[in-house]
Each structure stands twice: as structure tokens, then as C-alpha cells.
């Protein structure tokens, strides 16, 4: 980025730089631009495809021919409440999926790979947490974080058992399918990648790809679950882009997998980390419960 910025300095003659997350904002006499590392080989091709599908809710690319960086138009953000921002963003994401989705032919291996990845993650977490619980049970004096964790060990184990059971049921549901719905997904969704101005924009498309639209919902939930009522957001999304039972089930399974706790030397931070994970489990359980209650009634 530094070498590329040296070239940009000569071409654009900026008088002010601002670093914001992974982007550099340059202010020049001819305008304000955003400079980002060129992670995606041909973002122009992506933009042209999205525009051909009548989706143009992204900052225009000003220049992509410089080595190492892309240069985008700068859009001044108008501050709105985060809840409203989330609703506007999910409308845009549902539109993106609706405009770009299609069914591709798949075989059992495609679903087997998804199943294996999830079941391996669950098994790794079971080993990790069981080792932690065993260590705590061998302690003579429990630290506050150890006490908090062992007191809630059944909740963590129950969540992992639930996910293991459900992913096996999901696999039985899809293993005979010969097609899978995919779409162009942003693949890095959070409210920090949404800008409201004269219209709405999704930014930071570097990780975009063609894959299951469920992945966008999973990323969005994991990035912003703490501050939002996700049940209303999900309802809003489903009105524009309904998910199949298998897609919705997969979403609920993946978000229900408890995060892996970071064990640090700082006792206060350990207590905070454990509390955050417990908050995640309880909040996710509350979101997921109505779906499974409805499934039980159907049975």
C-alpha cells in the first residue's frame, strides 16, 4: 500500500489522509476518494455483472489499474440509528440475493463437505470445552471465571449436542438433492459495511463470491447479534427472499454453535469473554426457538 500511495500522491496530490479500518481516505482538490488494497483481482467485472442484474448499490470504482490498490468514490455517510441501518441493509442484501440467485447442479459430495466441516467444528469444540471443564474440576480453589464457566457447562454442552443432532438431521434432508441455490454474496456483512446517503450502499466487496446466501446471514448475525433484534431483521429478509426449510435450518444450526472462548491471563477479561459467550448462546436460543416450536407443531 505504501509504494502505491507514493504513486497516488503524485497523480492525485492529496492534501489530507484519513485511515479508516482497512481503507485510506484521500482528500484532493479534485475530490475525495477511498484507496483500498487490491484483494480482489477484478472488482470491475463483479460490478459490471451486478449492474447487469439491476443492482448498483455500491461505490463506483474510479481506478483499478494501479498495482496493489483500487480507488473508489468516497461517499459521505449520513448517520442513522443502528436498528434502521440494519433494516435498510438487510433489504439491500435480500435484493442482491434475489437478483443474482440461481440453482446449480451438485452431487452428494457438496453437501457432505458442508456436513463434515460443521461436524468437525462441533467435535473440536467438544474436546476443547471438555478439557477446560476437566481442568476446572481438578482445581482446589476456583477463580471467578472458572466458577462462571463450570456453572454453565451444561448449557454449552447442550448447545453442542443440539447442533450435532440437528446437522445430522439436516444432512438426511438434503443428501438426495441434486441442486443447490447459490447467489452472489457479499461474504463480509456487518452494519459497518453499509452506508446511507442519497441511496444505500454496500461497501467492502473484497470477499464476495458465489455461494449459499445463508452465509451472508450467518456473517451478519455473528458480527451484529449483540446490538440488534435479529428476529425482525430475519422476517424482513424472508419477505423478499424466502429460504427453503433446509437453508433456514442450516442457518439456525451454524449460528447455534457456541463460539470458542479465548482463555487469557487476565481474570477480568476471562469473565467478560465467558459472559459474552453465554449471552450469545441465550440470545441465539431465543431466536431459534420459535422455528423449532413451529416444526414440532407440524409433526
Q: Are residues 116 and 170 in the same domain?
A: yes
Q: Are residues 230 and 267 in the same domain?
A: yes
Does 82 reside within a domain? Answer: no
Q: Are residues 112 and 239 in the same domain?
A: yes
Confidence (pTM): 0.91
CA end-to-end span of the chain: 57
Q: Are residues 142 and 31 in the same domain?
A: no
Mean pLDDT computed over every residue of the chain: 91
Q: What is the DSSP letter of 128?
A: H
- pLDDT digits over 253-274, tens only? 999 999 999 888 899 999 999 9
36-65: average pLDDT = 86
Does 90 reside within a domain? Answer: no
Does 79 reside within a domain? Answer: no
Q: Are residues 108 and 239 in the same domain?
A: yes
- pLDDT digits over 138-184, tens only? 999 999 999 999 999 999 999 999 999 999 999 999 999 999 999 99
Of 272, 283, 277, 279, residue with least CA distance to 261: 277
DSSP string, 132-177: HHHHHHT-SS--HHHHHHHHTHHHHHHHHHHHHHHHHHHHHHHTT-
Q: How many helices (H) and strands (E) does the chain have?
A: 10, 10
Q: Are residues 108 and 70 in the same domain?
A: no
Q: Are residues 59 and 106 in the same domain?
A: no
CATH number of the domain residue 31 falls in: 3.30.200.20
Q: Are residues 64 and 174 in the same domain?
A: no
pLDDT tops 60 at residue 1: no
Between CA 151 and CA 146 the distance in angstroms is 8
Q: How many domains does the chain have?
A: 2
Q: Are residues 62 and 180 in the same domain?
A: no
Within 8 A by CB and 6+ apart from 182, the residues are: 101, 102, 103, 104, 210, 211, 212, 213
Does 93 reside within a domain? Answer: no
Grid cell at residue 137: 474440576
CATH number of the domain residue 244 falls in: 3.90.1200.10
Does 155 reside within a domain? Answer: yes
Q: Are residues 138 and 261 in the same domain?
A: yes
Which of 42, 74, 106 terminates a domain? The answer is 74
Grid cell at residue 48: 459490471
pLDDT at residue number 214: 97
Does 50 reside within a domain? Answer: yes
Q: Are residues 102 and 70 in the same domain?
A: no
- Host domain of residue 64: 2-74
- Contact yes or no for 224/190 (Cβ under 8 A): yes
Half-sphere exposure of 258 (CA within 13 A, CB side): 30
pLDDT tops 90 at residue 38: no
- pLDDT digits over 75-121, tens only? 989 999 999 999 999 999 999 999 999 999 999 899 999 999 999 99
- pLDDT digits over 203-259, tens only? 999 899 999 999 999 999 999 998 899 999 999 999 999 999 999 999 999 999 999
% residues pLDDT > 70 (the chain): 93
Q: Are residues 114 and 161 in the same domain?
A: yes
Which of 59, 74, 89 terminates a domain? The answer is 74
pLDDT tops 90 at residue 18: no
Does 91 reside within a domain? Answer: no
pLDDT at residue number 187: 95
Amino acid at each position: 500500500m505504501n509504494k502505491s500511495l507514493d504513486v497516488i500522491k503524485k497523480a492525485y496530490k492529496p492534501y489530507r489522509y484519513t485511515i479508516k479500518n482497512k481503507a485510506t481516505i484521500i482528500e484532493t482538490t479534485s475530490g475525495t476518494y477511498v484507496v483500498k488494497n487490491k484483494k480482489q483481482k477484478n472488482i470491475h467485472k463483479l460490478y459490471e455483472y451486478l449492474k447487469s442484474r439491476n443492482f448498483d448499490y455500491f461505490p463506483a470504482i474510479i481506478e483499478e489499474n494501479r498495482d496493489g490498490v483500487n480507488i473508489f468514490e468516497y461517499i459521505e455517510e449520513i448517520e442513522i440509528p443502528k436498528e434502521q441501518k440494519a433494516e435498510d441493509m438487510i433489504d439491500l442484501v435480500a435484493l442482491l440475493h434475489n437478483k443474482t440467485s440461481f440453482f446449480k447442479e451438485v452431487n452428494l459430495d457438496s453437501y457432505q463437505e458442508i456436513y463434515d466441516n460443521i461436524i468437525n467444528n462441533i467435535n473440536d469444540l467438544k474436546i476443547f470445552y471438555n478439557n477446560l471443564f476437566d481442568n476446572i474440576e481438578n482445581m482446589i480453589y476456583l477463580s471467578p471465571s472458572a466458577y462462571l464457566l463450570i456453572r454453565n457447562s451444561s448449557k454449552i454442552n447442550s448447545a453442542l449436542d443440539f447442533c450435532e443432532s440437528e446437522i445430522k438431521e439436516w444432512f438426511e434432508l438434503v443428501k438426495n438433492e441434486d441442486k443447490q441455490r447459490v447467489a452472489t454474496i457479499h461474504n463480509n456483512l456487518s452494519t459497518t459495511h453499509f452506508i446511507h446517503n442519497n441511496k444505500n450502499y454496500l461497501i467492502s466487496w473484497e470477499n464476495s463470491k458465489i455461494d449459499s446466501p445463508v452465509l451472508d446471514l450467518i456473517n451478519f448475525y455473528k458480527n451484529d447479534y449483540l446490538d440488534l433484534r435479529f428476529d425482525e431483521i430475519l422476517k424482513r429478509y424472508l419477505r423478499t427472499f424466502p429460504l427453503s426449510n433446509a437453508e433456514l435450518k442450516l442457518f439456525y444450526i451454524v449460528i447455534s454453535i457456541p463460539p470458542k472462548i479465548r482463555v487469557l491471563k487476565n481474570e477480568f477479561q476471562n469473565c467478560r469473554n465467558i459472559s459474552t459467550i453465554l449471552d450469545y448462546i441465550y440470545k441465539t436460543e431465543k431466536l431459534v426457538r420459535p422455528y423449532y416450536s413451529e416444526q414440532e407443531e407440524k409433526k
